[in-house]
Structure formats: structure tokens, C-alpha cells
Structure 1
């Protein structure tokens, strides 16, 4: 089976990255990237969510989301995968060009390839969980079915 590895926004398949600039709306709010949405949802405090939503870059959003001075929601480990599923699904539903690109990947295995993450990515050596890749493939399957 074909594998598609992605990580950086400016590389091939960069549109798959959570840092890729494809805005979408959820509950009346526009999110610049899926990274912004994901990081904001780590917190129940609406002011922190809004601060993250308004940050200029996805890296700034990621850094603020990792700031442990912000009170992490107690159920984060339980809800984080479903929050990512929602962000990824809405990103591709609301941006037809990348929706077509995702569907064009066919049955390829999608892999976020970096040693910087062993949960969302492959840990750079295939030992990571690749949860973002899994969610992207779930999204592709869901979009094909619609």
C-alpha cells in the first residue's frame, strides 16, 4: 500500500498539516488553522480560547496551548481525539480544494512524519501512534461516503 508522509506546510501534502492555513467555522467562530482550534479546546476558559483563536500563527497557538499556566481541562485526555476529529473534518468540509486533494490520496496510508511527536505523528521511525494520520484517513473515508 502507498504511504504519504507529511509534516511541513510548504512540503508536498503540506495541506494535511494542522498548521496549514485553511480557515473554517465552528459555532460561529472562524479558526485560522486546525491547530488554533485544537489548542484552544484544551481549556474551558473562554478568554483563553479566544486569546488562542486570535493568535497570528499556528506555532503561537501551539505554544500557548502548551503553556501550563493555563488551566488544562480535566477531561483533556478523554476528549482530545474527538476534538481533533472535529477540527480536521470541518477543515476539509469547508475548503473544497483540499477536500478534493484529500480524496485524491485514494487508499494511501497517511503518516505525519516527525520525530517531534509520538502520539499525533510516527515518532520519525514508525514507532509513534500517528493519530493525526489515522484521523485524516477516517475523515477521507467519511467524505467519500457522503
Structure 2
């Protein structure tokens, strides 16, 4: 028996911060949410750590890249992170990913095309959003994607059944 779990062959491993990974938060697929345009899910997620009308939140939204947005989102000495952040961060991430998929049908289809694969954010260092070095992390981002996939699939089935009942 190995110290690390075996790689799941029915899983799609990806890096959330890879801009070429369309299911990641860095992909260049902007969307409108909360009456503002967000260049990437990463911009939306990082900015959401701060109060809606703060200058720091706006700096993050306007950041030239998702890397810069992430860096600004981690500079907590410039602005106070909202008190409920740990409670709402997963909801915020889900909202961003879902809105991205609804804005870009091709991304939604790519997510649906993963079928019943387990989606795994393959981060060596992140044990909350990713699977961590030993693959025993929470994989919260992968779970967010799977929840969004299930919602998109349910919406698709509902639309099909409404279409067939006409």
C-alpha cells in the first residue's frame, strides 16, 4: 500500500490557475454579475473577499490579469476581508463558475462533456480548493464544478422535457 492514494482513472485532473484550462478560474471567459463585468472567475472570487463598494475590490476587478487579481486579493493589509468570508467563499466560487458557464455555452458543454468523471483541482499546496500533494485534500473547487455540472444537466433535462411536452 502506497503512502499516497492511487490516481483515480475516472477523474479529470486540472490546475485551476492554468489560463488554458477552460474549467479553471484563470480562463479568459468574462461575465456580468452583480451589475459589473468580471474578466475571469478569479477576478470575481478575489474581489468578493472585500466589501462591495471598497476601492480595493474595484482594483481587483480591474486587474490586468488573474494572477494580479489573486495577488491583490491576498494583500489583506490594504483592506479588511469580510467577516463572513469563510462561510460564503464556496457560494461565491459556485456563483462565479455557474455564471461563466451560463454566459459561455461552450464552457458549459465542456463541463457537461466530463460526464460522471470526478473533477480534481490538482494543486500540490492547496488542501481546501485542491487535492493537495498527497491527494487527500478537500478538492472543494472540483466539488464546485461537479455541483455546477449537475445543475446544468438538470436545467438541460428540464428544457428538453418542456420542449417535448409542447
TM-score range, shorter chain: over 0.9
C-alpha displacement at 1:132, in angstroms? 0.4
2:34 pairs with 1:27: yes
Matches within 5 A, 1:47-58: 47-58=55-66
C-alpha displacement at 1:45, in angstroms? 5.1
Q: How many residues align?
A: 143
- Counterpart CA distance in 1 for 2:76 and 2:103 is 32
SS of aligned partner of 1:49: helix
SS of aligned partner of 1:79: helix
Matches within 5 A, 1:45-124: 46=53, 47-69=55-77, 70-124=79-133
2:144 pairs with 1:135: yes
- Counterpart CA distance in 2 for 1:2 and 1:71 is 41
Structure ID, larger Rg: 2
Which stretches in structure 1 are left out of the alignment for 5+ residues? none
Which stretches in structure 2 are left out of the alignment for 5+ residues? 1-8, 156-166
- Counterpart CA distance in 1 for 2:130 and 2:144 is 11
Normalization by structure 1: what TM-score? 0.94
Runs (4+) of structure 1 exceeding 3 A deviation are none
Task: Summarize deviations over 1:5-38 as a string: whole Å, max 9, x none.
Answer: 001233xxx1111111110110221101000000
Normalization by structure 2: what TM-score? 0.83
